[in-house]
Structure 1
Amino acid sequence: MRTMQGWLHDTAGGLPRTFWYLWTGTLINRLGSFILIFIAIYLTQERDFSAAQAGLVLGLWGVGGAVGTTVGGTLADRWGRRPTLLTAHLGAASLMLALGFARDLWLIALGALLLGLFAEAARPAFGAMMIDVVPAKDRLRAFSLNYWAINLGFACAAVLAGFATEAGYLLLFVVNAVTTLITALIIFFKVSETHQPVVATAGGPKAQTGALRAILSDRVYLGFVTLNLFAALVFLQHISMLPIAMGDSGLSPATYGSVIALNGVLIVVGQLFVPRLIKGRSRSHVLALSAVVLGCGFGLTAFAETAWFYGLTVLIWTIGEMLNSPSNATLIAELSPNELRGRYQGVFSLSWQIAGAAAPVLGGLVREGAGNATLWMGCALIGGLVAVAHLISGPTRERRAAALRAVNQPAPPTPVGQQRATEAGEASLVTSPGSPPTENAAGAPAGEAR
């Protein structure tokens, strides 16, 4: 009993109350996340769209998401995390209902574009708020717990939605909208603003005007984001091409729901143990292993024909996903300057949205032009290349993270006598004409002092 209590405390103890409100909102929202799971099946079977038309709609969803994450990251830093989250969730809930009633292709395409924009605008604000409220030493387990909630909801949603389709697809849109609205209400009543504006000092960053330049000059971070983009192109095939492949094998939507639910079930069972498993290990090695396992899982899909074989492939690539998520989350937090957290989160989310737009289109083209087996073996090849890139670029990322931690670390308290002498020296600098302003190391712009 003591061992179990100790494990529970080490896993979930001591985290801020705001984190648990966010965690609860995540769980509720994901419990109703029916549409993203079944959108490909809905478009091809219920609306009788072709695979190319379905790919277009999914691609527009990704395009909207790309715009949403960019706008959401900027608003999270300028407007605040809380108002950005509320606006994004309320807009997403409204558009979810509108999309459920749309029938014409152009209306569904427009609805998917706008829904992607609002739904994904919440992502960078949410990530920035998590970093705001959770101390650095607790972020690995906090992000793991949040990821656990995402997948607990996902597993339940996949199974429930598979059966709910028998009552009509409109029910999926309604439930998804209601859970999104409940999440907005939790944020409205229980979550306060966490963003603390950074006061610019002489020689310090100009966070608002120089944000884009700072990010574009941060080659280390952009390289990390690029690797995530390629991994996401592989991973997101489970939403676009996997259900179509299972349909070609004669398997029903309910079977797809049950098979894909294995992804959430495995994460729910195992994700709470992953932080201990990878703690103290090289994040570059963990991310490389994750890419290899992810590629192998999707590569084996080329040989799947039965439900159990598809389920086996899902279990394999899920292990890769479990290793990837917490390492990614902590790296984003450590590579993001405090004053640009929202924007850095937005850029990382942008890689997912670009992949969301490109994955169904590229997957469909490869599948139709070169065959199903070529698509999945190509996924395996990409996974291997991403793994090699992580091993090569990892040491540089860790040096950047260490430098940024040192820059942002509060200075130790100065002894009283020394402090008086320092203050006297600073006073003489202030009164001396032509004295240059002192540099604020803690506010060095991204990409310059690390």
Structure 2
Amino acid sequence: MIRFLQIYLDAYRGLSRPAWMLALVMFINRSGAMVLPFLGVYMTNKLNYSIEDAGIILSCFGIGAVSGSWLGGWLTDRFGHFRIQTCSLFLTAPLFFILPQLQSMESLAFGIFSLSLISETFRPANSVSITHYAKSENITKAFSLNRMAINLGFSIGPALGGFLASVSYDLLFYGNGITCLVAGILFFFYFKGKKGHQKKRENNIEHTFPRRSPYRDTPFMLFSILCTLYAICFFQLLNTLPLFYRSVYQLSESQIGRILAFSGLVVFSLEMLVVHIAEKKLSTASVIIVGTLLCGVSYVLLNHHTGQWILYFSIFILCLSEILAIPFMATVTANRSGKNNQGAYMGLNALAFSGAHIISPYIGTHIAATYGFTALWWGTGAMTVITAIGFLWVFRLMKR
């Protein structure tokens, strides 16, 4: 037990105060992440949309996310990560207050698109900010700390969101807007004029193509496509999985919120420890490949209807997949970029995940509505195997 605690504490050493503050801002912002996990349930239950119509609107979120990720990377390279993050947080908040008033399919689709467009410009700017404030030897830990904060917030947001949804769905949107505003205020006043570790990191990190556009970096483009395939599978968590809980297991919003909150607590509790051990014991390629395969295992387990415990066990495996895959994908991106194109590389990495927001809900809801959830989970498992093989090939290509 003492050895376990020592390893856990070692995982946090060396992180700068700004890195911790970035995590705090992210925690506050994600504590209000109530809308997206319940958006499909909101549309099918309150607005009486079909599952396929809900999938189309969720895909509009993905289209906005793709546009926002590209735009965020472009703007970050030109105006800096501080300005883009500040504008994103302050402009996103009022959109949450407007969304409950939009109930027709066209207006809601446009509102969701606008929300994701503005909110997702935050992602590449935030990734550049992490690399700016973290020391070179602690980049992976800094990304993991940020994700730990995201998941701690995510353990609170859905649980609170499930309670608020049982009272009124409108409260979901208002709560999300308020926390976004609070996060923006804290970020602005702390990071205004704050300096980072940029100069030291430039001297220590070897960049393969320091001035090349990421869109001309063929191995990285292939890597990004595989990240998209992984994310398409993983993001069933936010799209079809809550609908599966509702339609197959007949769970209430509060019960769904508790399962999602459990996932946030698992990642919060284990990510820094697992990443710390994985960095020492395994190569980056091995960690990402194992994480990808675990994603498929988690969804295939859902085909065994043996009670609600299987839902918790499945999402626990999915959490391990997330812990192993996503932070190291960000590290590959950070180490592949140079000073003048960090925003572009981080933007492409964010674009890879945002693109999955378009494909994942559309494919997931279509397969579930046409062939059933069983076919969806088996298909997701098969896709992760193909993706893992692709990662193995691409990492060999990068070594060359």
- Please report the TM-score for the alignment, with normalisation by the length of structure 2: 0.91
Secondary structure class of the residue paired with 1:279: helix
Q: How many Å separate the matches in 2 of 1:240 and 1:130? A: 28
1:60 aligns with 2:66: no
Report the counterpart of residue 290 of structure 2 in structure 1. Answer: 289
- What fraction of aligned residue pairs are identical, expressed as a percent? 27
Distance 1:255 1:4, change over 3 A: closer
Between Structure 1 and Structure 2, how many residues are aligned? 387
Report the counterpart of residue 437 of structure 1 in structure 2. Answer: none
Deviations 1:205-233 (CA, angstroms, capped at 9, x unpaired): xx9xx98x722210111111111100000
What is the CA-CA distance between 1:359 and the residue it aligns to? 0.6
Distance 1:369 1:18, change over 3 A: same
Report the counterpart of residue 237 of structure 1 in structure 2. Answer: 236
What is the CA-CA distance between 1:274 and the residue it aligns to? 1.0
Secondary structure class of the residue paired with 1:12: coil
Report the counterpart of residue 332 of structure 1 in structure 2. Answer: 333
Q: How many Å separate the matches in 1 of 2:233 and 2:2? A: 42
What is the CA-CA distance between 1:17 and the residue it aligns to? 2.3
**Residue 124 of structure 2 aligns to which amino acid in structure 1?**
P
What is the CA-CA distance between 1:326 and the residue it aligns to? 2.3
1:320 aligns with 2:340: no
Report the counterpart of residue 204 of structure 1 in structure 2. Answer: none
Deviations 1:114-166 (CA, angstroms, capped at 9, x unpaired): 00101101000000011111122011211111111111110111211111112
1:275 aligns with 2:272: no
**Residue 233 of structure 2 aligns to which amino acid in structure 1?**
V
Instruction: Work out whether residues 68 and 117 of structure 2, in 8 Å CA contact, stay in contact via their aligned partners in 1.
Output: yes
What is the CA-CA distance between 1:7 and the residue it aligns to? 4.7
Q: How many Å separate the matches in 2 of 1:237 and 1:248? A: 15
Q: How many Å separate the matches in 2 of 1:305 and 1:239? A: 23
Instruction: Work out whether residues 11 and 276 of structure 2, in 8 Å CA contact, stay in contact via their aligned partners in 1.
Output: no
Secondary structure class of the residue paired with 2:239: helix
Q: How many Å separate the matches in 2 of 1:125 and 1:15? A: 19
What is the CA-CA distance between 1:363 and the residue it aligns to? 1.0
Report the counterpart of residue 262 of structure 2 in structure 1. Answer: 262
**Residue 30 of structure 1 aligns to which amino acid in structure 2?**
R
Distance 1:386 1:188, change over 3 A: same
What is the CA-CA distance between 1:297 and the residue it aligns to? 0.5
Report the counterpart of residue 105 of structure 2 in structure 1. Answer: 105
Instruction: Work out whether residues 37 and 242 of structure 2, in 8 Å CA contact, stay in contact via their aligned partners in 1.
Output: no
Q: How many Å separate the matches in 1 of 2:72 and 2:132? A: 16
RCO comparison, higher one (Cα < 8 Å, 6+): 2
Q: Which moved more, 1:81-90 or 1:250-259?
A: 250-259
What is the CA-CA distance between 1:2 and the residue it aligns to? 8.8
**Residue 229 of structure 2 aligns to which amino acid in structure 1?**
F
Report the counterpart of residue 203 of structure 2 in structure 1. Answer: none
Deviations 1:287-346 (CA, angstroms, capped at 9, x unpaired): 111111110111222333632222221111211111112211211111112211111111
Report the counterpart of residue 385 of structure 1 in structure 2. Answer: 386
Instruction: Work out whether residues 51 and 369 of structure 2, in 8 Å CA contact, stay in contact via their aligned partners in 1.
Output: no
**Residue 243 of structure 1 aligns to which amino acid in structure 2?**
P
**Residue 234 of structure 2 aligns to which amino acid in structure 1?**
F
The root-mean-square deviation of aligned C-alpha atoms, in Å, is 2.2
Deviations 1:382-419 (CA, angstroms, capped at 9, x unpaired): 111111122222233356xxxxxxxxxxxxxxxxxxxx
Q: Which moved more, 1:66-75 or 1:386-395?
A: 386-395
Q: How many Å separate the matches in 2 of 1:397 and 1:145? A: 27
Report the counterpart of residue 373 of structure 2 in structure 1. Answer: 372
Rg larger in structure:
1
Report the counterpart of residue 430 of structure 1 in structure 2. Answer: none
- Please report the TM-score for the alignment, with normalisation by the length of structure 1: 0.82
**Residue 174 of structure 2 aligns to which amino acid in structure 1?**
V
The residue correspondences of 1:77-226 to structure 2 (distance < 5 A) are 77-192=77-192, 214-226=213-225
Distance 1:9 1:52, change over 3 A: closer
Instruction: Work out whether residues 31 and 157 of structure 1, in 8 Å CA contact, stay in contact via their aligned partners in 2.
Output: yes
Distance 1:186 1:132, change over 3 A: same
**Residue 167 of structure 1 aligns to which amino acid in structure 2?**
V
**Residue 219 of structure 2 aligns to which amino acid in structure 1?**
V
Q: How many Å separate the matches in 2 of 1:50 and 1:376? A: 20
Report the counterpart of residue 41 of structure 2 in structure 1. Answer: 41
Q: How many Å separate the matches in 2 of 1:286 and 1:12? A: 20
Q: How many Å separate the matches in 2 of 1:75 and 1:118? A: 12
Unaligned runs of 5+ in 2: 200-208
Instruction: Work out whether residues 62 and 116 of structure 1, in 8 Å CA contact, stay in contact via their aligned partners in 2.
Output: yes
Q: How many Å separate the matches in 1 of 2:226 and 2:168? A: 39
